[in-house]
Structure 1
Amino acid sequence: MHVLLTAGPTYEPLDPVRFLGNRSTGKMGYALAEAFAAQGADVTLVSGPSSLPDPSNPRIRTVRVETAAEMFAAASAVADAADVWVFAAAVADYRPAHVASEKIKKSGETLTLELVKNVDIAATLGQRKRPEQFAVGFALETTNEPGPRPG
């Protein structure tokens, strides 16, 4: 069995030193990767920025990414060959429309950012999922916490 698993946050750059991100640690995704590997699965772990070390299990191949676009590209590259897809990453829903090439300097009392929607990795890959593949996604909510969404 081959498992595609996403974990951790994504960081969307504002300029060379700042980013939009979230507080995800990646712990759940890394633990799931270890559990699948312990059961004999080969795992491709696509991890956003995390302070966790790469798993040492030889059945787990870790692909480090930073942005939602990079996570989508890495997941897309292995999705067709995977039997199970687990989307446990906390992917940024939006990214800045423009990334400054230099550090944004303080000027004025406010700063307005234009954000554009990132690709929904689970939904987009789900459109090409074959019937024999299994996919599950997790979504963190601050109200009405639904838990896992099997699919």
Structure 2
Amino acid sequence: MKILVTAGATREPLDEVRFVSNVSSGATGAALADALFSLGHEVVLLRGEGAVRSQQVRDGETFTSCADLLAKLQRRLVGGSFEAVVMTAAVADYRPEMTLSGKIRSDADELIVRLVRNPKILPQLKDMSPCPLQVIGFKFTVGADADARRAAVSAQWAGGGVDATVHNDLHEIRAAAVHPFYLWRDPAITPVLLVGVPALAAALHAGWMEAE
């Protein structure tokens, strides 16, 4: 299969030198791209500026903002050559309403920034491709209990456009020796626990092969 993987954080510019971002390093996405490549898939990696690089995947490019990532996804998917998209990228929900030219002065006592919502990318992906496309979404929570996790996954499914959701929680990641993932193929069904990126890649691979 030809698979498009996104990884790392978006950067939403405040001015020409500052931006709003998040803590995602892109390490999971890069490792997953490598694992899928090792399983025989053709992989393209779109990674955020400054994100961890893949060790094996050479085809790809970097992105900056949500708008930039959206444009690059559209350009890649319009040809219909991809069969799956794995969206590990941590896309900002909000961006500064205005991007100022130059550099904001640093002598003010306070700075008020108005943020506006970014468009949701996941629900748009299938419509970008003229061919059937499997879309794997990721959902990240912080200290969420079982009900909150299910609600977060259900909300992603309600937005449309995903065939599976991979959930992980920051507190659980920090407490574990190996990164745990929960693969949801239906928000009404108990997810599968997968420990480590290789296990996640193998589960995705098996699901795709079964569907063919």
| TM-score (normalizing by structure 2) | 0.63
Alignment pair present for 1:33 and 2:45 = no
Structure 1: stretches of 5+ with no match in the other structure: none
Give the residue type in structure 2 aligned to 1:73.
A
Q: 1:106 Cα deviation (Å)?
A: 3.7
Give the residue type in structure 1 aligned to 2:135.
A
- Write the mapping of 1:2-151 to structure 2, written as runs, cut at 5 A: 2-53=2-53, 55-57=54-56, 60-79=58-77, 80-106=80-106, 108-128=108-128, 132-142=132-142, 143=144, 144-145=148-149, 146=153, 147=167, 148=183, 150=185
Give the residue type in structure 2 aligned to 1:64.
T
Give the residue type in structure 1 aligned to 2:95.
R
**SS of equivalent residue, structure 1 residue 138:** strand
**SS of equivalent residue, structure 2 residue 24:** coil
Deviations 1:21-55 (A, max 9, x none): 000010110011001111111111111123423x3
Task: Write the distance in 2 (CA, Å) between the matches of 1:66 and 1:96.
Answer: 14
Task: Write the distance in 1 (CA, Å) between the matches of 2:18 and 2:135.
Answer: 33
Label 1:87 to 1:34 Cα distance change in 2 as closer, same or farther (>3 A): same
Q: 1:84 Cα deviation (Å)?
A: 0.9
Task: Write the distance in 2 (CA, Å) between the matches of 1:92 and 1:67.
Answer: 8
Task: Write the distance in 2 (CA, Å) between the matches of 1:108 and 1:125.
Answer: 42
* More relative contact order, 1 or 2 (CA 8 Å, 6+ apart): 1
Task: Write the distance in 2 (CA, Å) between the matches of 1:60 and 1:150.
Answer: 30
Deviations 1:64-103 (A, max 9, x none): 1111111111112222321011000000111111111021
Structure 2: stretches of 5+ with no match in the other structure: 154-166, 168-182, 187-212
Task: Write the distance in 1 (CA, Å) between the matches of 2:116 and 2:139.
Answer: 20
Task: Write the distance in 2 (CA, Å) between the matches of 1:132 and 1:33.
Answer: 21
Task: Write the distance in 1 (CA, Å) between the matches of 2:98 and 2:84.
Answer: 35
Instruction: Let me know the Cα RMSD of the aligned residues.
Output: 2.2
Aligned pairs, number: 149
| TM-score (normalizing by structure 1) | 0.86
Q: Percent identity?
A: 32
Q: 1:63 Cα deviation (Å)?
A: 1.0
Query: Is the CA contact 1:138–1:149 (under 8 Å) kept in the aligned structure 2?
Result: no
Greater gyration radius: 2
